[in-house]
Structure 1
Amino acid sequence: MRAPVAVIGGGLAGSVLALRLAEQIGGPRIELYLGAATRGRDATVASGGLVRGFETNLDECRLAAESLAELRRDPALAHASGYQESPSYYFLRPEVDPDRQLALLDGALSGSARLVPAGQVARALGLAPRPEGTFAVVEQYAGHIRPDALRHYAVTRATALGVRVRQEAVASVAAGPAVTVGGIVRHHDVVVVAAGAWTSALIPVSLRTRRIQYGVYPLARPDLGCLVDDLSTLYGRSYGVGSVLLGVATSAWGAAPGSDRPDPAYVDRVSEVARAVLGLDGRLPSPRWSAAGVDCFADEGGLRLRAIDNMPGVFSFAGGAGSAAKSVLASSRLAAATVCVAASGQPPQMSMPPGPVCRELGDQASR
């Protein structure tokens, strides 16, 4: 029997979307193509998994806050994703006004977020002094997940609900819509390409790839929590006993999908930035180990469903880059609602208000 909906991509976005759809319209109506050859080299494996409610973009903040709220209210989902709660400290650029985001967070995660002078936060954490007049958003409810664990949970649940999970990689996507796998053309009512950095190789979509990389360093900073400095792009968190995870944004645009070999030159950049932000007396120690991957970035909008021009019934669900782990629960819920409508033969409504349109993962996970 032909499955009406095909989801291409076994990363975090595709796996969670497939589960959302299975809960809404039934697993046997969904096919999920994992592309098994790429799974060990994708951004889901490389992600550091930071989660919080705050984002400087208001729409992305809403999705991150709703995702975190869902994660925190469902113990089974939190356990399956390896959620560990710790405070978040987000140091803002001077020009950023976070008032609307703070109001949003107060509704979604009441009592979690507050605006604090950056210098006060830096002193409390033992960091270097901050520029005068700058601020930080401090969140009580934040932390990190293991994106690969959430991916595994989603695929396992989707399989249990009847989703046909295929290991093969899709060679091409055509109008129709149709996919070609192993030389065989398969037709569907809706095709969603959620293949991360590989997405633009299958469909015409405006996404750019960039290397992401971080290291785990032998540095005892147990009170670091989850740290983001928008001025330097440094991010990190405490990592077990006596270690921290640290990274900075790279400039490696156009990186080849699946490239997972760490760049040694990047370590020097991290050491330089970390020394300045963390207030270290000397050079940052060499990392115990490093992780690298390639993800895709959208010009705007982050991780969301996008209709593909001149290809009715074909969508992309990608572009979240580093924010995918933070927003995937809410983004996939909205995406699934649109796909459900498209699969029923009705014109899809791409602009949808946030809300529990499709059943939440927690409805299944908590049973």
Structure 2
Amino acid sequence: MRRCVIGAGLAGTLLAWRLKAAAPRDEICLYTGDPAAADATAASGGLVRAYEPDPAAARPAADSLAELRASAVLRDWADYREIGSVYVRAAPVESAPPYAHGMPVEGAPLESLPPGAELVTGTALARLGIHGVPREAIAVVERRAGHISPHRLRLMALEDFRRRGGEVVARVVERIGEHGDHAEIVVDGRRHPFDLAVVAAGPWTPALLSRSGLAGPGVRTKRIQYQIYEVSGRRPPPFVDETTGLYGRPSGRHGLLLGVPSEDWDLDAGALPVSLSACRDTEGAARLRLRELRLLRRVRTTAVCDAYTDARLLRLAPLGRCLHTFTGGSGGAAKLALAASGEAAGRLLAGPLTLAATSRTEP
């Protein structure tokens, strides 16, 4: 079998790596696009946790973290730092997804949270350096969580993919399509047939589908922007605060990564101009919630596009019999990527038994 994955961000690279590991005799080609183009993987803050307020995202988040923590190789590849996580809920706590034994289970009691997690309120949050949350808000605090380097994980998986015999092609795919019983891609004006092609091009997906005359699964682009600040005072653990939108994590010895969600949609993929209003919103939210912290200076601002779908999940979606997309998320797809790539590889290889035999072992 000849299969290709178009796009070498974290999602596409992990999918190609899974496919080659599970089917070593198959020819797997990974098309990286323009290696100089900025992408969301290189920019990702890499927060990872088991808890997610969206029940559909909770299982892949928990699965991804479990696989990461169970594998010394993956922990090293991802530069995993287990320093905890805080998720502040703006909605009433009754709407939080239930868990049992670390996995979401319909009808399970709310108190059955991911392993090592607990529900806390304002006083306990203040001890973590997060202040002034509304009285009705409540937070899920996880000890077994933290952050990774999605870029390093991508590079290490790419290296192992090559070692296993996978082919990496640093070319831009111009068009894709189906012809009879096979997929066809066009690169540098030449046609290349494959038994299967998967588009995992992130924010470049809508343009590729449009050039190919294909209707995609509602993929849109959206700005992601965050700032790295040099700070003094008390740094919180990695956190998301729904009440202000502020999210962040420690960065280096004296830094803090901070950002707020954007509503800048349908932008051209690639590097974006910095949004000064996003910087002001971030700094205002930080003054409100991180009262024991002082922002000394803005060291760096990162602004890129990422791909979103209506489902707000990283998942495989069919374009035809031989064509699929593998993209989408909520701007934090890095925390879902291990589980999502394993599930996608299992579907493409026609069976969970193949997936179980390859995705839960050491690389």
TM-score (norm 1): 0.88
In structure 2, the CA distance between the partners of 1:36 and 1:361, relative to structure 1 (3 Å rule), is farther
Structure 2 residue aligned with 1:144: 147
Counterpart position of 2:247: 235
Q: Which residue of 1 aligns with 2:185?
A: 179
* Superposed displacement of residue 333, structure 1: 0.4
1:52-63 equivalences under 5 Å are 52-63=49-60
Amino acid at match of 1:24: A
Other-structure match for 2:107: none
CA contact (8 A) 1:10 1:36 kept: no
CA deviation map 1:68-95 (0-9, x unaligned): 0111111121011111111101000133
Aligned to 1:133: 136
- 2:302 pairs, out of 291, 300, 319, with 291
Verify: 1:258 aligned to 2:270, yes or no. yes
8 Å contact from structure 2 (residues 2, 194) kept in 1: yes
Matched to 2:163, the amino acid is A
CA distance in 1, matches of 2:339, 2:254: 34
Q: Deviations over 1:154-196 (max 9, x none)?
A: 1111111111110111001112321000101111111100000
Letter in 1 for 2:84: P
The reply on whether 1:269 has 2:281 as its aligned counterpart is yes
Q: Distance in 2 between the 1:106 and 1:336 partners?
A: 21
- Aligned match for 1:90, one of 87, 90, 100: 87
1: CA distance, partners of 2:95 / 2:168: 42
> 1:220 touches 1:241 (CA, 8 Å); kept in 2?
no
Call closer, same or farther: CA 1:28–1:159 in 2, change over 3 Å.
Answer: farther
Write 1 or 2 for the structure with the bigger share of helix. 1
Pairing partner for 1:111 from 110, 115, 129: 115
> For the aligned residues, what is the CA RMSD?
2.3
Partners of 2:221 and 2:357 in 1: CA distance: 30
The 5-angstrom pairing of residues 22-101 of structure 1 reads 22-26=20-24, 28-37=26-35, 40-97=37-94, 100-101=97-98
Q: Which moved more, 1:54-63 or 1:28-37?
A: 28-37
Which among 324, 328, 345 is matched to residue 333 of structure 2?
A: 324
Alignment partners' CA distance in 2, 1:281 and 1:236: 13
The alpha-carbon distance between structure 1 residues 53 and 6, as it changes in their structure 2 partners (threshold 3 A), is: same
Q: Is the 8 A contact 2:50 2:114 kept in 1?
A: no
Asked whether the equivalents of residues 39 and 305 of structure 2 are also in contact (C-alpha less than 8 Å), the reply is yes
Bigger mean CA offset, 25-34 vs 189-198: 25-34
Percent of matched pairs sharing the same residue: 34
- Partner of 2:99, secondary structure, is helix
Deviations 1:250-271 (A, max 9, x none): 1211121012443233211111
Aligned to 1:357: 356
For the residues of structure 1 that align with 2:191 and 2:94, how far apart are their CA atoms? Answer: 51
Q: C-alpha separation between the residues in 1 aligned to 2:165 and 2:334?
A: 25
Give SS of 1:288's match: strand
Aligned residues: 347
Cα distance in structure 2, aligned partners of 1:183 and 1:358: 39
Shift of 1:330: 0.4
Q: CA deviation at 1:37?
A: 3.7
Distance in 2 separating the partners of 1:106 and 1:97: 17
User: 1:28–1:162: 8 Å Cα contact kept in structure 2?
Assistant: no
The letter for the 1-side match of 2:362 is D
User: Residue 345 of structure 1 aligns with which residue?
Assistant: none
The question of 1:191 aligning with 2:190 is answered no
Amino acid at match of 2:116: S
Q: Structure 2 unaligned segments of length 5 or more: list them.
A: 105-111, 210-214
Aligned partner (choices 220, 228, 232) of residue 208 of structure 1: 220
Q: Which structure dedicates a bigger proportion of its chain to strand?
A: 2
Structure 2 equivalent of residue 337 of structure 1? 346
1:215–1:288 contact (8 Å) kept in structure 2: yes
Q: Which 10-residue stretch deviates more, 188-197 or 24-33?
A: 24-33
Structure 1 unaligned segments of length 5 or more: list them: 342-348
TM-score, scaled relative to structure 2:
0.89
Secondary structure of 2:62's counterpart equals helix
